[in-house]
Amino acid sequence: MFCTFAKIINFNGAYIMYDILNSIKVIAGPCSAESKEQVLSLAESLSAMGVKIFRAGVWKPRSSPDSFEGVGEKALDWLVCAKEKFGLRIAIEVANREHLLKAIDKGIDMVWIGSRSTANPFVVQEIADTITYAIAQSSDFGEKSRGGKGKIDLDMFTVIIKNPVNPDISLWCGAIERIMATGVKNIILVHRGFTSYERSLYRNSPLWNIAIEIKRRYPLIPILCDPSHIGGKREYIFQISQQAIDLMFDGLMIEVHPNPDEALSDSLQQVTPDQLRKILEGLNLRKAGKLPEYIGALREEIDEIDKKVIALLGERIKISTQIGDCKKENNLPIFQNERYSKMLENRKTLSAQTGLSEEFIENLMKLIHSYSVEEQLRK
Ligand code: PEP
Ligand code: MN
């Protein structure tokens, strides 16, 4: 349940955190495991705060080969130590068969597929095939495995699938389908934004509509937001987290480091455990309650307006098709750049009268226009 009640009545930080961590799933930990001391000190502070799942990159997929690429296998022992000492669940990124088998061998039962891997069906299939292999190895004469070193306990084993770097929802769905086909029962999605050529405030564009669509397609799979990789800077983490909560995400994956400025990877976007506490305590959790009745009436009005908008778009496309016929008869090109640019400019000026943003109108008109062009091309 999403609830702000305990936040109001308790001034004791511990209760506030208890309420938040019971309402949303929080995965926290460093971008990369750097040393045993770093892992254990973070694990201690995060578990004292009530965080249950500790993340850390062991093998790091970096764009440049000159960047820090993770300490590799030796970090697995540090993480297992953190698990045993503080009772945390451990989540690491795996990008191939070897990574996954090494993780399972150490009894790590939560792995994530990073955004660069999700974008590559070969990589996802290799991971899926390895899971299938490990599941088969884990069942002794058909008996259910209880997990542990080298074995998968299907009730616990969890695969986190981050969105692909590029905004292609079918790649994300493909990865989900490949992992589901292995028989894995616990899947979590993580929305970490998308690479964009356009300069924007954030490191990766949130494109919330893609996350909303994936939630619509897979309503039973929990979806978390990774504000660290969306924002790229620690000062944006709170606002992005709040937006995710407002959109009813099931939780957050946040990068935490004891000394963020000295971090070997993603130093600008990591926060200290204390900063994480403040971010979480500041969140306004939404209630999943019943909507007030008058919203029903407002929704009926919206339904009527949508009907009119769709009918008008139908009329528009009929006219556009007539124009297409005329272009064909006269052997004229379908796309007329001058008309297109003028149309966009004109519609953007109309946006001022409605309170709609120019960007929204421009995107909407581009979508409508591209449909017209496709229809004319079909002729
Ligand atoms: C990470 O979580 O550290 C990471 C590399 O993420 P992503 O795959 O989202 O870039
Ligand atoms: Mn990172």
Structural domains of the chain, with CATH: 16-282 (3.20.20.70), 293-377 (1.20.59.10)
- CB 192 near ligand 1, within 6 Å: yes
Identify the pLDDT of residue 165.
97
What confidence tens digit (pLDDT) does each residue in 249-258 have? 999 999 999 9
Ligand 2 midpoint to CA 157 (Å): 23
How many CB atoms within 10 Å of residue 343? Answer: 14
Does 165 contact ligand 1 (Cβ within 6 A)?
A: no
Instruction: Answer positive or negative: Cα dihedral of 214, 216, 220, 222.
Output: positive
pLDDT digits (tens, 9 = 90+) for 96-145: 999 999 999 999 999 999 999 999 999 999 999 999 999 999 886 556 66
pLDDT band at residue 2 under the 50/70/90 scheme: very low
| Residue 5: pLDDT over 70 | no
* The ligand 1 atom nearest the CA atom of 115: 8
Q: Which residue has the tokens 């389908």?
A: 177
Name the residue at shortest CA distance from atom 3 of ligand 1.
Answer: 31
Q: What is the pLDDT of residue 141?
A: 56
Residue 203, ligand 1, Cβ within 6 A: no
Higher pLDDT, 238 or 288: 238
pLDDT for position 352? 86
**Residues 85 and 98 sit within 8 Å (Cβ to Cβ):** no
Structure tokens at 110: 């939560």
Ligand 1 and 57: CB distance under 6 A: yes
Is the Cβ atom of 31 under 6 angstroms away from ligand 1? yes
Phi-psi region of 226 (alpha: psi -120 to 50; beta: other; left: phi over 0): beta
Mean pLDDT across the stretch 266-281? 97
Give the number of other CB atoms < 10 A from CB of residue 373. 15
pTM for the structure as a whole: 0.85
Q: Per the structure block, which two tokens stand in for 86? A: 């503080």
Tokens of 56: 């850390």
Q: Which atom of ligand 1 is nearest to the CA of 266?
A: 3
Closest by Cα among 43, 36, 165, 169 to 113? 165
Ligand 1 pocket, mutate which of 225, 226, 264 (most atoms under 8 A from CB): 226
First CA to last CA across the chain, in angstroms?
A: 53
| Tens of pLDDT, residues 145-186 | 666 677 899 999 999 999 999 999 999 999 999 999 999 999
**Average of per-residue pLDDT across 337-348:** 94
